[in-house]
Amino acid sequence: MNTVAVIDYGMGNIRSVSRALECAGERCKVIVSNDPGRILAADRVVFPGVGALRDCIQELQRLELVGVIRECVRSRPFLGICLGMQALLDSSEENDGTPALSIIPGTVRHFSTGQGEARLKIPHMGWNHVRQTQPHPLWRGIPQDSRFYFVHSYFVCPDAPAVTVGTTDYGVPFTSALAHENIFAVQFHPEKSQHTGLALLNNFLQWDGSA
């Protein structure tokens, strides 16, 4: 049976994510855990998150999950969601500078940075369009410019444009989906995005980690 581990470090919509995965995949066993052994035994891994990046990194360190995540991103299909996407980069502007996991080179910026006279409501909350900028197996069956649900005040700026596979406009265009080898990560919440979100999760559950 296809097993997927949802990393539970106390900072994510864990129940919503796990239930959405169960709905998306009929032959899927969802494991919600912070136990390294159970996570590493799964076929694929989901790294969700909401809240502050500094707290996220501190909890991952306390639970001894940083090394587990590094192993998972090297060895199996891996999906980062919202804060779980931001944590993959090098650092964030949050709290005058917060180190992250340095798995994907780049930084995380606040929407107020470099916006000029634009008056944006922060956080960026609600439905918005995602433009697919590169083909990827997780986009299978999802129409171009489909809408997904967002809640965030920071956005990722990867160093390499090639890892961006989806963008969204909010004052400026920003990377809302990135992919590198067996990693796929999204700023939006597929578990809150109804049919399109379930389609993306279903694609993830069938993905072998290759482009």
Token pair in block for residue 99: 């180190």
Phi, then psi, of 37 in degrees rounded to 5: -65, -40
Cα(62)–Cα(90) distance, integer angstroms: 19
Cα(72)–Cα(75) distance, integer angstroms: 5
Catalytic member of 124, 136, 180, 189: 189
82 among known catalytic residues: yes
**How far is Cα of residue 145 from the mean position of the Cα atoms in its chain?**
18
189 among known catalytic residues: yes
3-state secondary structure of 17: helix
191 among known catalytic residues: yes
Q: Give the start-end residues of each E strand in the chain.
A: 2-7, 28-33, 44-47, 78-81, 91-92, 98-99, 106-110, 124-132, 146-152, 154-158, 164-170, 172-180, 183-186
Token pair in block for residue 135: 């083909």
Cα within 13 Å of Cα(22), Cβ side: 10
Catalytic member of 124, 136, 180, 191: 191
Catalytic member of 82, 124, 152, 180: 82
Q: Which residues are catalytic?
A: 82, 189, 191
